[in-house]
Chain A
Amino acid sequence: MISLTINDKKIEIEEGLTVLKAAEKVGIKIPTLCSHKALSPYGACRLCLVEVSRGEGSPEIQASCTYPALEGLVVKTDSQRVIKTRKIIIELLLARCPDSEEIKNLAKELGVEKTRIKPKDKDCTLCGLCVRMCEERMGRAAISFSGRGPRREVTSPFGKSSEVCQVCGACDFICPTGKIKLHEVSKNEPHPIPFEHNMGLNSRPAVYIPYPQAIPNKATIDSRYCVHILRDKCEICKEFCEAEAINYDQKEEKLDLKVGSIIFSPGYDLFDAGSKLEYGYSNYSNVITALEFERILSASGPYEGKVLRPSDKLPPKKIAFIQCVGSRDTERDYCSSICCMYATKEAIIAKEHAGEELECQIFFIDIRAFGKGFDAYYERAKELGVKYIRCRPSSVEEIAETKNLKINYVTDEGKMLTDQYDLVVLSVGLQPPELARKLNSNFGIKLNEYGFCWTDPFKPVESNKEGIFVCGPFTEPKDIPETVMQAGGAASKVLSLLSEARGTLIKAKEYPLEKDVTGQAPRIGVFICHCGSNIAGVVDISQVVEYAKNLPDVVYVENNLYTCSNDTQEKIKKLVEEHNLNRVVVASCTPRTHEPLFRNTIREARLNPYLFEMANIRDQCSWVHMHEPEKATRKAKDLVRMAVAKVRLLEPLQRRKVGINHSALVIGGGLSGMSTALEIAEQGYDVHLVEKEKQLGGNLQRIHFLFNGGKPQEQLDSLIKHVKENDKIHLYTDTKISNIEGSFGNFKTTIETGNGQPNEINETNKPNEIEHGVIIVATGAKEYKPTEYLYSEDEKVITQLQLEEWLAANSEQSMVIAEHRKPGTGNRALTVGHRHSSANYRLPKTDPRTLKTVVMIQCVGSRDDERPYCSRVCCSEAVKNALKIKEANPKINVFILYRDMRTYGFRESYYTKARQMGVIFIRYDKDKKPEVVKQNGVLKVSLVDPILNRPVTINADLLVLSAGTIPHPENKDLAQMLKVPLDQDNFFLEAHMKLRPVDFATEGVFLCGLAHSAKSIEESITQACGAAARASTILSKDTVELEANISFVVDENCDGCAYCIDPCPYKALTLIEYMKDGAIKKTVEVEESTCKGCGTCMATCPKMGIFVKGFKLEQISAQVEAALKPVEI
């Protein structure tokens, strides 16, 4: 070590550094142009000059990048003389290269706006960065200096393009003036590495983080391009990585794993847009796929979220989206299910980013907004000005001069129009993944006709191979929530299969005994993070460190390059011991991501994890005040002071553990409820299954056919049998929930059975109170009872479910016979064919043999003002029943009057089949609904056919209304008991529409089936299995840890006024009375397992009688006061 003085500050550093590096080490910035961390010092630009003096000699000006840091040296980096000389040099540089942004910025930093010297308009400063880079790091020397004096320049040998150049682009990258042009240097064509995450719209380095949300969020080296791995050169990334994390020797490893089960979720492949030649994707630069557009819209995308088109990077004024590219065509007779919504979303976001003026037009066949909340979103898009045009354009043409695109289309009114667009987005469909064929050949996984994984509707997460489960778009194109549900479902199947092995690979973490710090004066350690240059690049860390040292009770302060790194954790642990710290502050990033890590660290250092506070000086300081370093430094000090003020007052807290009741309550005995109950039972837990009706089965009792010919009633019988036979399932039919108490892990529910009498299924002496650890809501929904289209006036007007029952009741035979017999000759009595066909539903007495014309009307009670949502299954229901009729007797006319046919996924092929079999589909608009009248006993349905543009009247023998799915009115009461929310349509509202579709925000309560939203049989089963998996995350634990930051009552202050009790959203507070000093004392008691620590009580209390631990009024006040009284030191 040697010591020298820089700017009057004595410093100690290791020997062998230059003055520039020594200054950098102590945080003193010296401007430079030609110096680079990875290259040898060169001394060309002279910007880095400083004053140095040794011993008695007068100070001399020297370039700090080449001058060695010597013992006893006195250095001045900011003397008047230095600054003056530097200004002259930057003026010279500015005159030489007046257009270089980098030099302009440097000049600005040095306070030089303009140069007094006549501009030379050269484009090279002769800094030699490129030459050194090429020779030293790339080992090529493809460029060098040539000429002398004023003729000196950087060039390739003889000014000809080089053969040795490897076209790595390092020279181009490092050049501060933009002089180096790769195509002039090299004979070879440069091949930028396409950034996969941005669909190749921009390029990336060979060492890179694959995408912003990558897990782990760490860089990787692409060995196909890394100059070091390929040619043993470069190593620049190693030089720059301050964490010393670069390891070129890491190799791909093959691991053998022994597993009991496999889940395949290989996703999907995007349809190759280039194969639709008519849209010109491969030839026209402004025809892009929707995924490419998604990346363009992203803040982390190729254009940083600006809406620009690829050809000229200019903002488009008019964008066309073309739907169903690679879906719903002759080769792919399926719907990709997600494209309508992603196009809608992209159009909305594009308008948000680019401004309302941006025109977005979506060319579609049917808008399939069938998911929960989707139709509302579609309506919003229209309000925001997104235009929907019902037409599938046959081609896209490019206009060569403008690179704009021309589309011909036909309007609703039948007019041919041509429009020009700046950008065309192709809504490409989903294809089976490439891997599917391999899984088929290697594992024997059965694929369906399209190449996706085959599954049975009643076993939607199982492959044909035992023990191999499947999920995601591999089984059918699907959106995020369905994917998450199915993933949970697959996990549940594995949990059942491997229930015996559960937990055997888990090792519990052990902590050392916690130190008791009560009564000790605070001894605070403050750790201030550079976060590389994320914080230190803006905030002057050394100032913050010095400042923190003088804060009250702070005994130790340290700065770290990365406070979150593993070695810093070890260091913090050591320092806590060494300095006997009893409080810790980390000033770095956000507690939302890093608090758990640091809490764990101090717990390992025997401190209570709650004696910790973070100051967010990155996300809320350096990153948001990037151009105000001084103010940001001051703010960072304030934030540290506020954190110290709070941590002084923090107290040790304990997370109380409570045992778990390992049983589940399932509310609802329909398909979803029974499926989830069976799943949970299979996993080894007791289930209490409560059904309000006398019999199990719910809506499934009314479903008699499946598209694939399956027999749902047989499945239902088998399901009921399994439920009844399973000794883990305790069944309560004809039973209602009257009260629910407790919280996750330990609920207590009161039930009421029928009229108090045990029924046929219930055993006698069943308790009316059930204790359980989790709740699954599977209460279903019901078919809307239409008030329109003469439903209650004419028995020939029925709902789709009634039609299905009627079809089941009248064997197919009878309709076939109709062809041979004249109507009315026989008098076959109508038979109610199945025991499940309950007498509750009226069936039409229409003789099937007289049936000539069936009319179906879609969206009855759905997608209207009262119920703005889509009921999802009715289109498929209608197609299914129409096919059933046509199969029985092709001569029966079937008309389906629809708004958008929403036969998503593989249901599409049945829609195709229906059209082929002669089912006639006529579209109508929301404001031009069909009209139904009865004239002389004949039902007449009239509407305007939009294709013929003429009114049509159909005489219907049977009018079938596709009535929507509506929520149970009882949902409100149940939601209140469960403390969970309902959505605007009165279905239950999940914790997150996309990512947590089976969870409620309330812990321990889950959701599946129609109670969530309308869905099909396989979707209900999938969600039921998913809910079982989520329930298992709690049931599989022995104990749960309760929140530590919960309310507590200060008995002395509480006078029992009870103001806090009503506002508590969790009903966690009770007013109690007890004897104190011979008098009755009223006070409030907190139910610790129910309180979530929201602090509503604290803000309500006028007497400081109740607080939230860790957020006590005095603790927050301390922060407030610290913020207001800056102690400048």
Chain B
Amino acid sequence: MNNEQTKVTEFEPLILAFCCNWCSYAGADLAGISRMQYPTSIRIIRVMCSGMIHPNLVIDALTKGADGVIICGCHPGDCHYLEGNLKAEKRADAIRLMLEDFGIEDERFRLEWISASEGPRFAQVMTEFTEAVKKLGPSPFKM
């Protein structure tokens, strides 16, 4: 009984994952096809390219209550649009600076490269990130 109670009160983060259509979203599908299990905390939003994600989207999400945001793109050199992922990488630095201004922990935001063939890696990254966010506790902006 005691066990069940702790289960109920345990913090379950809500994490947004922006996945590019060509690599990471396909990697997430492969994780599914291979039945790789990962936490239910992840909500995937499909975008065409990781380089499409406006920094405001990330900041907005984190200031409106997301416990974590992860951007997933193709590995460098694999970008369907040549180098959108590298642009995303540069933007990620800017995002981190903005997070500092908002007093949001750096660890709530991540950028990862996950290819279409990396189903296991997708599951692993999502599990790790969820664990990391769990340790931080709920977002200070949670409504």
**Given known contacts A620-B32, A623-B32, A1065-B81, is B37 in contact with A1094 (CB within 8 Å)?**
no
Name B's interface SS: mixed
B57-A1113 in contact (CB<8A): yes
B28-A619 in contact (CB<8A): yes
A1124-B61 in contact (CB<8A): yes
Set of chain B residues within 8 Å of A1093, measured between Cβ atoms: 48
A1099-B64 in contact (CB<8A): no
B47-A628 in contact (CB<8A): no
Set of chain A residues within 8 Å of B112, measured between Cβ atoms: none
Whether a CB of chain A sits under 8 angstroms from the CB of B134 is: no
Whether a CB of chain B sits under 8 angstroms from the CB of A368 is: no
Distance, CA A634 to CA B29, complexed state (A): 19
Whether a CB of chain A sits under 8 angstroms from the CB of B87 is: yes
Q: Which of A590, A625, A1124 has the most CB of B within 10 A?
A: A1124
- Known: A624-B32, A642-B45, A1045-B48; 11 extra A-B contacts, CB below 8 A, are A618-B32, A623-B35, A635-B40, A638-B43, A1063-B87, A1065-B81, A1094-B80, A1096-B51, A1099-B88, A1123-B14, A1124-B65
Interchain nearest-CB distance for B55 vs A (Å):
7
Whether a CB of chain B sits under 8 angstroms from the CB of A96 is: no
Set of chain B residues within 8 Å of A1045, measured between Cβ atoms: 48
A1001-B87 in contact (CB<8A): no
Whether a CB of chain B sits under 8 angstroms from the CB of A979 is: yes
Set of chain A residues within 8 Å of B37, measured between Cβ atoms: 624-627
A632-B84 in contact (CB<8A): no
| Cβ proximity bits A1056-1090 to B, threshold 8 Å, 1 near / 0 not | 00000001011000000000000000000000000
| Cβ proximity bits A578-612 to B, threshold 8 Å, 1 near / 0 not | 00000000000011100000000000000000000
Distance, CA A921 to CA B46, complexed state (A): 58
| Cβ proximity bits A188-210 to B, threshold 8 Å, 1 near / 0 not | 00000000000000000000000
Q: List 22 interface pairs A-B (beta carbons < 8 Å), by A numbering.
A: A299-B34, A592-B21, A620-B29, A625-B37, A632-B40, A635-B40, A638-B43, A979-B82, A1063-B87, A1094-B81, A1096-B81, A1099-B53, A1099-B55, A1099-B87, A1099-B91, A1100-B87, A1113-B54, A1116-B45, A1119-B45, A1120-B57, A1124-B61, A1124-B66
Whether a CB of chain B sits under 8 angstroms from the CB of A616 is: yes
B60-A1120 in contact (CB<8A): yes
Distance, CA A1093 to CA B42, complexed state (A): 26
Which bracket fits the contact residues of B? 35 or more
Distance, CA A675 to CA B133, complexed state (A): 59
A620-B44 in contact (CB<8A): yes
Interchain nearest-CB distance for A286 vs B (Å):
27
Interchain nearest-CB distance for A1068 vs B (Å):
11
Interchain nearest-CB distance for A351 vs B (Å):
15
Set of chain A residues within 8 Å of B35, measured between Cβ atoms: 623-624, 626
Closest residue of chain A to B17 (Cβ to Cβ) is A620
B64-A1121 in contact (CB<8A): yes
Set of chain B residues within 8 Å of A626, measured between Cβ atoms: 35, 37
**Given known contacts A627-B37, A1094-B49, A1111-B52, is B57 in contact with A639 (CB within 8 Å)?**
no
Interchain nearest-CB distance for B25 vs A (Å):
7
Set of chain B residues within 8 Å of A473, measured between Cβ atoms: none
A residues contacting B by CB (< 8 A) are 299, 590-592, 616, 618-620, 623-628, 631-632, 634-635, 638-639, 642, 979, 981, 1001, 1045, 1063, 1065-1066, 1092-1096, 1098-1101, 1108, 1111, 1113, 1116-1117, 1119-1121, 1123-1125
Distance, CA A1095 to CA B44, complexed state (A): 18
Set of chain B residues within 8 Å of A590, measured between Cβ atoms: 25, 29, 32
Q: Which of B26, B42, B52, B87 has the most CB of A within 10 A?
A: B52
Closest residue of chain A to B34 (Cβ to Cβ) is A299
Q: Which of A591, A624, A1098 meets B38, CB within 8 Å?
A: A624
Distance, CA A624 to CA B120, complexed state (A): 11
Set of chain A residues within 8 Å of B84, measured between Cβ atoms: 1065, 1094-1096
Q: Which of A616, A634, A1065 has the most CB of B within 10 A?
A: A1065
| Cβ proximity bits B73-117 to A, threshold 8 Å, 1 near / 0 not | 000010011111001100100000000000000000000000000
A624-B52 in contact (CB<8A): no
Distance, CA A362 to CA B137, complexed state (A): 50
A1116-B81 in contact (CB<8A): no
Whether a CB of chain A sits under 8 angstroms from the CB of B36 is: yes
Interchain nearest-CB distance for A112 vs B (Å):
16
Interchain nearest-CB distance for B17 vs A (Å):
9
**Given known contacts A624-B32, A1096-B84, is B49 in contact with A616 (CB within 8 Å)?**
no
Set of chain A residues within 8 Å of B36, measured between Cβ atoms: 624
Set of chain B residues within 8 Å of A1098, measured between Cβ atoms: 52, 54
Closest residue of chain B to A1095 (Cβ to Cβ) is B52
Whether a CB of chain A sits under 8 angstroms from the CB of B31 is: yes
Distance, CA A1111 to CA B28, complexed state (A): 20
Set of chain A residues within 8 Å of B52, measured between Cβ atoms: 1094-1096, 1098-1099, 1108, 1111
Set of chain A residues within 8 Å of B28, measured between Cβ atoms: 619-620
| In the complex, number of A-B residue pairs with CB atoms less than 8 Å apart | 131
Whether a CB of chain A sits under 8 angstroms from the CB of B70 is: no
The 7 A-B pairs with the shortest beta carbon distances in the complex, nearest first, are: A1095-B52, A619-B32, A1094-B81, A623-B32, A631-B40, A1065-B82, A619-B29
Interchain nearest-CB distance for B1 vs A (Å):
12
A642-B38 in contact (CB<8A): no
B61-A1001 in contact (CB<8A): no
Distance, CA A624 to CA B61, complexed state (A): 24
B87-A1096 in contact (CB<8A): yes
Whether a CB of chain A sits under 8 angstroms from the CB of B56 is: yes
B48-A1094 in contact (CB<8A): yes
Whether a CB of chain A sits under 8 angstroms from the CB of B16 is: yes
Closest residue of chain B to A639 (Cβ to Cβ) is B43
A592-B29 in contact (CB<8A): yes
Set of chain A residues within 8 Å of B29, measured between Cβ atoms: 590, 592, 616, 619-620
Distance, CA A625 to CA B87, complexed state (A): 33
| Cβ proximity bits B101-143 to A, threshold 8 Å, 1 near / 0 not | 0000000000000000000000100000000000000000001
Q: Which of A592, A635, A1096 meets B25, CB within 8 Å?
A: A592
Distance, CA A428 to CA B41, complexed state (A): 47
Distance, CA A269 to CA B82, complexed state (A): 40
Distance, CA A1094 to CA B21, complexed state (A): 10
Q: Which of A1100, A1108, A1116 has the most CB of B within 10 A?
A: A1116
Q: Which of B33, B46, B88 meets A623, CB within 8 Å?
A: B33
Distance, CA A642 to CA B61, complexed state (A): 14
Interchain nearest-CB distance for B50 vs A (Å):
9
Distance, CA A1063 to CA B61, complexed state (A): 25
Distance, CA A361 to CA B122, complexed state (A): 31
Distance, CA A30 to CA B78, complexed state (A): 50
Distance, CA A1120 to CA B14, complexed state (A): 11
Interchain nearest-CB distance for B76 vs A (Å):
11
Distance, CA A343 to CA B38, complexed state (A): 33
Set of chain A residues within 8 Å of B38, measured between Cβ atoms: 624-625
Distance, CA A642 to CA B43, complexed state (A): 9
Set of chain A residues within 8 Å of B143, measured between Cβ atoms: 1125
Closest residue of chain A to B31 (Cβ to Cβ) is A624
Distance, CA A635 to CA B17, complexed state (A): 14
**Given known contacts A1099-B91, A1113-B57, is B82 in contact with A981 (CB within 8 Å)?**
yes
Interchain nearest-CB distance for A1031 vs B (Å):
21
Interchain nearest-CB distance for A1081 vs B (Å):
24
Closest residue of chain B to A613 (Cβ to Cβ) is B46
Set of chain B residues within 8 Å of A592, measured between Cβ atoms: 21, 25-26, 29
Closest residue of chain A to B46 (Cβ to Cβ) is A591
**Given known contacts A623-B32, A981-B77, is B47 in contact with A1095 (CB within 8 Å)?**
yes
Q: Which of A1092, A1123, A1125 meets B81, CB within 8 Å?
A: A1092
Set of chain A residues within 8 Å of B65, measured between Cβ atoms: 1124-1125
Distance, CA A1095 to CA B18, complexed state (A): 14
Q: Which of A592, A979, A1045 has the most CB of B within 10 A?
A: A592
Set of chain A residues within 8 Å of B34, measured between Cβ atoms: 299
Distance, CA A1092 to CA B28, complexed state (A): 23
Set of chain A residues within 8 Å of B31, measured between Cβ atoms: 619-620, 624
A1123-B45 in contact (CB<8A): yes
